[in-house]
Structure 1
C-alpha cells in the first residue's frame, strides 16, 4: 500500500500522479531512443527516478506502459489538431490541421519518432498505429464532409485514407531525415498536395 500522508506539502494523490507522469515521460524517452529500443522495467524506473514498485503501482507490464504512452501522445495530437481546424476559417482548415501536426512534431521530436518512426517491431505500437490511422481517417472524412461538402460515401472514405496514408508516409520520411525540409515548408507542401482532394 502507498502512504496517504502529506510529504513536503504534497498530498499522496498528487505524488502518485507526479510519479505516473515521470514514468510516462521516461517511457516516451526510451521508446523513441532508437530504431529498436530495449525497453525494460528497470530502465524505465531508472530514467524516471523511481523504484520498481511505483512502476507496478501504475502499470501491469511494459505493454500497458507502451499503450498508454502512445494513446496519450496520439490523443494530444488529435485534440490539438481538431481545435486548430475548428478555429480556422473555412478555406484555411486543411492548412491549420497540417500545420498543427507538423509543429507538434517539430516542437517535440519524440512525437514524430513514436508516431512515424521505424519502431514498428514493437507489436503494441504497430497495433496502436493501425488504430490511429483509422481515427485520423475518420477525422479526415468528417473534415472533407463538413468543409468541402463531399458526400459521405465510399469515394470520400477512400480520399480520407489516401490523405492520411500520404501524410503519414511523408512525415515518416521527414522524421527519418529522408526529406530535408523546414517546418513551414513541409506544412505548406502537404497542404498544397491535399488541396486537390476537395475538387
Structure 2
C-alpha cells in the first residue's frame, strides 16, 4: 500500500487505475469516432466500447468534445513520434530522409484509417475542432518546409516565404490524398505518392532558391 496513492487493488494504485481507464477511453474514442463519426457517436457508445461506466468517463473528461480533442491530440503525438524516428535515421541523404519520413507517415496512416477520419474529416464538425485541425495541418506544413530546406542545393539562399507557401499548398493536397485513401478512393499507391511528393518537395526547394 502506498501512503500517497491509496489502496493497491489488482496490483495497481488508484493513480495507475485512473490512467488505465483514461487509455481505455482514448482507445474507445478512436474506435467510435473513427467508425461511426462524430455526429453518430454518444458518450454511452464510448463507454460501452471502453467497457466502463459513465461515472468513470466524467471523471476523466468534461464532455464528449473534450474526449474527441484528446483523441486528436494523442494522434498528433503519435504522428510526431513517427516523424522524429524517421528523421533521425542515420546514413541518409536529404532525398532519402525526406522519402523516409513520408514513407513512415504513409505507413502510419495506412495502418489505421480511423486516425485519418478523426483528425482530418470528423475534425471539421465544430469551430473548436476545426481550430485543432488547422494546427495539425500547420504542423504538416512546418514539417514539409523543413524537408524542403534539406533538399535545397544551398539552404542559405532559400526564400523562406516561398518555401512556406509551397509547403502549405502541398500539405493541403496531402490531407486530401489521405482522406481519399482512408475512404477507399486512393489516388495512387503509397509508394507512388511518396515518390511524387519527394519530387514536389525538391521542385519547391529549387523554386524557392534566390
TM exceeding 0.5: yes
Shift of 1:145: 2.9
**SS of alignment partner, residue 38 of structure 1:** coil
Shift of 1:112: 2.0
Q: 1:108-167 deviations in whole A, cap 9, x for unaligned? A: 221122233466224443222111111221222233234521625311111111221121
Give the alignment partner of residue 39 of structure 1, picking from 27, 38, 41: 41
**Which residue in the other structure is 1:50 paired with?**
52
User: 1:113 and 1:67 mapped to 2: Cα distance?
Assistant: 13
Q: How does 1:22-171 map to 2 (within 5 A)?
A: 22-35=24-37, 37-87=39-89, 88-117=92-121, 120-148=124-152, 149=155, 151=158, 153-171=160-178
User: 1:35 and 1:49 mapped to 2: Cα distance?
Assistant: 19
Residues 4, 11 of structure 1: 8 Å contact kept: yes
**Which residue in the other structure is 2:180 paired with?**
173
Q: 1:146-191 deviations in whole A, cap 9, x for unaligned? A: 4521625311111111221121122222112222644334333433
Residues 117, 176 of structure 1: 8 Å contact kept: no
Alpha-carbon spacing, 1:181–1:91, altered in 2? closer, same or farther (3 Å): closer
**SS of alignment partner, residue 6 of structure 2:** coil
User: 2:199 and 2:147 mapped to 1: Cα distance?
Assistant: 16
Greater mean deviation of Cα atoms: 143-152 or 28-37: 143-152
Larger radius of gyration: 2
Unaligned runs of 5+ in 1: none
Number of residue-to-residue matches in the alignment? 197
Residues 145, 163 of structure 2: 8 Å contact kept: yes
User: 1:13 and 1:184 mapped to 2: Cα distance?
Assistant: 44
User: 1:146 and 1:188 mapped to 2: Cα distance?
Assistant: 16
